[in-house]
Amino acid sequence: MNDELELYTPKIAQHNNLIRSYMHLGGLEARIFTLLLKGVKKDDTELKKVEIKVSDIIGDNPSGKAYQLLKDACDELMSKRLDLLQVGISKKAANKNDYHKVGIVQELQLDSGSGFVRGLFTDRVQSYLIQLKKDYALADIEHLMSLKSGYSHRIYWLMKSYQSLGEVKISVEEFKKMVCGDKDELGNQIDKYPRYYDFKKYVILPAFEDIREMLNVHWVENKKGKKTESLTFKFPQEGKISKITKPVQGSLFDKSNAKPKYKKSEAPKQNLRATSKLKLVELMEIHKENYEASIEARLNDGWYWNDDQTILYKD
């Protein structure tokens, strides 16, 4: 990452310690958070109140139900409190007994008459948002506003924060906490997806499908026996491969070079001749924990992947 932000950019920034905190965001919360960040200017010396058009969050001519969902999202965002590492301290260097709990948003006001939401970040997160010189990530506003879920927002930001490393390995439990949070609004420990199968199906795969045209990243499952213990995210150099995000499916691949173990058939440029097809998500639903064995059997029986390895075909 450059030492200074560009003079003008359609991007927004956060310090990596804020990005990598344990935080869940719902879809509307993520949109509000993004638009609040849009109002933060790189040369600001202090955080200022930001005005957001209601229509930018929930569209034109919103219904009463839409306004209620917006109010609920504001409540959720106001209740967010993070155990936040201080600027200049990495997770590896931090003492696990340290404690630094902060709120993100100090104030949110919904004025339906004028059609605006007005918000202000807390001064405790000021050093994570303005006057950033290093250890930060930039994200494209248009990309963020097009994402379909809060999980996609969180994973997009996390991938941006690790992109400059080239490759990073994260335990499943750590990644889950960063994407889904680890506590509810009352401070109680939560684990919405105790099974990795569910976390992958409902969070990881949909999110990477959402960001696949935005980021050049591959991910690999690292297993111990049948259990997936960690994920490795790889960020190829610009121009080396296509920008499509490909989920690299655990034991079906040689992790040393991310090449398929099984020689797949020569797929036609278009799948016009294919008489059968199966989506990866359908196989996962049908075969549950044994879906990889089902894929292996089909690959050995003449099936082949589409380009982004989300659909299997057979002529």
Cα angle for residues 77, 81, 83 (degrees, 5° grid): 145
Condensed to tens digits (0 to 9), the pLDDT of residues 59-97 reads 988 899 999 999 999 999 999 989 888 877 666 666 666
Contact 117, 108 (CB under 8 A): yes
Whole-number Å distance between alpha carbons of 30 and 144:
9
- At 276, the pLDDT band (50, 70, 90 cuts) reads confident
Whole-number Å distance between alpha carbons of 314 and 170:
35
pLDDT surpasses 90 at 19: yes
Whole-number Å distance between alpha carbons of 2 and 37:
19
pLDDT surpasses 70 at 187: no
Please give the structure tokens belonging to residue 233. Answer: 């995210």
Please give the structure tokens belonging to residue 78. Answer: 């106001």
The three-class DSSP label of residue 24 is: coil
Mean pLDDT of the chain: 80
Whole-number Å distance between alpha carbons of 167 and 157:
15
Phi, psi angles (nearest 5°) of residue 305: -80, 155
Q: Which has the closest alpha carbon to 157: 126, 182, 128? A: 128
Region of residue 10 (left: phi > 0; alpha: psi -120 to 50; beta: else): alpha
Condensed to tens digits (0 to 9), the pLDDT of residues 210-237 reads 999 999 999 999 999 999 999 999 998 7
Question: Strand 116-121 to strand 311-314: parallel, antiparallel, or no bridges (unpaired)?
Answer: unpaired
Condensed to tens digits (0 to 9), the pLDDT of residues 126-184 reads 999 999 999 999 999 999 999 999 999 999 999 999 999 999 999 999 999 999 998 77
